[in-house]
Amino acid sequence: MQNLNDLLATIDGYIGGSPWFVFFLLFTGLFFTLYLGFPQIRYFGRAIRILRGKYDKQGDEGDTSHFQALATALSGTVGTGNIAGVAFAIHLGGPSALFWMLVTAFLGMTTKFVEVTLSHKYREKVSDGTMAGGAMYFMKKADFRLFGKKVNLSWMAAMFAVATIVSSFGTGNLPQINSIANAVSATFGIGHMVTGGVLAVCLGLVIVGGIRRIAKVSEKLVPAMAFIYFFGAISVLIHNYDNILPAIVSVFAHVFNGTAAAGGFLGASVAYAFNRGVNRGLFSNEAGQGSAPIAHASAKAHEPVSEGMVAILEPFIDTIIICSLTGITILASGVWKEKYENAFQFSEITVVEGSLQESTDLDRLYAHFNGGEQLSRYTGLVHIDNGTLPQGITILHARSVASDVRVLQDANDPKPFTGDLHIQQGDVSNNSGIQITGKSLVHSAPLTSIAFSKGLFGQSGAYIVTIALLLFAFSTAISWSYYGDRAVIFLLGAKWVLPYRLLYVLGFFLASFTDTQLIWTFSGIAIALMTIPNLIGILWLRKEVKTTINSYRDEFI
């Protein structure tokens, strides 16, 4: 498992986790923001009026209302990225990572406007009578030209459709149920397989009904889950009211000089905060990924620009409101820099030589975790006596120095282990039948759960996160199944939708008990594979986008 995760991490390092990818994403949003004259500001009020149905016309073609399309798209974006993703970004890059998430969202509002406008313009009715759209359709049908000659991009359309299917698992399926199962297990003690099995059945019952059933579920689920989550976060902020202003200041204070060490947090460079903040911002609001246009293509509208305007609201709601709320809650509670007792995942453990301490070896530890000189990884046999580690080695877990480390026989029989551990280049994953526990930093959904326990409701606040995460993530899985089946129809036809849905439900169940780090690494690759061709396509059609907007200016201004 560790070897597979290392391989995926290497691949991700060249695409989704690389500096060029995040710069490409931000450049696209910045370019269209300037090229179109800040549409995310100019058309924001208009978007709200369109959402309310003010400009609807009798006979508008489509399967859903503007609100249902927005709710479906939001249910696809408001998921683990808002709860686990924000916590993961802060864990990796410190408070400044939240700043870059917000920048990504602001620019992403324009990117969403552009990609949804193009998708809606080139949507088409498919054999099952429903509307289908997305980047694969404008790549196939739009008039792409290079040096005055028409270019056939059907191959890129097919590549995007394949990437959409892959990303339906990597974005909307695997990380969602994995986060749900982890949170339910930590909060209620329910086994991962039980959670995965029950929710897989529920997922199958919803998605078999197609977009109309998905839209009906989404328009009820999204407002309810947002209210529950907002209520819990406010309880934490009220309890920690004196930390709100310092938390907000910390988001902006270290944007250009990195975050210093604090408690168990060993510090983060500017580059790391920037990369992780933009990357997690994309995972949260999916601006530029090309997913939401598939949902918006179903909306009833007589022209594409109005639906593009509705899409402006997505990153605002998803990231600027909900992610900011999560981030300030985590920062104000102070839990992001504290160590907590937890069971270590093998993929996040590195055994290094020497007995290292934060107080005396901070510079070396900072360099190790931020792309500098790496610490020497231990190789050899380590004898464990009654669960206790010997001197001369250090366990690093979750970007922190682990303390109070205990080696147990296994989770079902948590007795102290006595025997030898086989360690190869710092990797302990070859030792089956044991569990390693101790105090370290935590991240993702567990970190947000701990933050919510620091509010007015005490430990019961963690239940709010678990319930909200279940609703958020489950709704995301529902929406992404629709994105995937539209891609299947584009590639193979409607007859292959049912096999895809069955495979989707099976993957949902299996991911409930799969290694978390492995899933998140795969997710980063899947996002990049889908985003890159979509960004190329919308940049190529930049003039058409402006022409389309100008053509309808008299109607919507």
| Least confident segment among 110-114, 285-289, 331-335, 414-418 | 285-289
Quick check: 452 and 464 in contact, CB under 8 A? yes
Pair of tokens at residue 534: 């979509």
Type of residue numbered 453: S
* Residue found by looking up tokens 């400044």 in the block: 96
DSSP count for the chain of H helices, then E strands: 25, 12
Quick check: 65 and 131 in contact, CB under 8 A? no
Res 455 pLDDT > 60: yes
Res 292 pLDDT > 90: no
Res 400 pLDDT > 60: yes
Amino acid 516: pLDDT: 66
Residue among 92, 490, 32, 153 nearest 283 (CA): 92
Where is pLDDT greater, at 281 or 500? 500
Distance between CA 46 and CA 426 in Å, rounded? 56
Amino acid 199: pLDDT: 93
Helix, strand, coil share (%) of the chain residues, nearest 5: 65, 10, 25
Res 556 pLDDT > 70: no
Quick check: 349 and 441 in contact, CB under 8 A? no
pLDDT digits (tens, 9 = 90+) for 187-217: 788 888 999 999 999 999 888 877 677 777 7
Distance of CA 482 to the CA centre of its chain: 18
pLDDT digits (tens, 9 = 90+) for 65-74: 888 888 877 8
What confidence tier does 11 reach under pLDDT thresholds 50, 70, 90?
confident
pLDDT digits (tens, 9 = 90+) for 227-257: 888 889 999 999 999 999 999 999 998 898 8
Mean pLDDT of 320-324: 91
Quick check: 170 and 527 in contact, CB under 8 A? yes
Res 404 pLDDT > 90: yes
Pair of tokens at residue 325: 């709320």
What confidence tier does 554 reach under pLDDT thresholds 50, 70, 90?
low
The length of the chain, given as a count of residues: 557
- Residue ranges and CATH numbers for the domains of the chain are 38-135+148-336+452-556 (1.20.1740.10), 340-440 (no CATH)
Where is pLDDT greater, at 277 or 530? 530
Three-state secondary structure call for residue 422: strand
Res 526 pLDDT > 90: no
**Sequence-ordered strand ranges (E) for 129-243:** 131-132, 145-146, 149-150
Distance between CA 445 and CA 463 in Å, rounded? 12
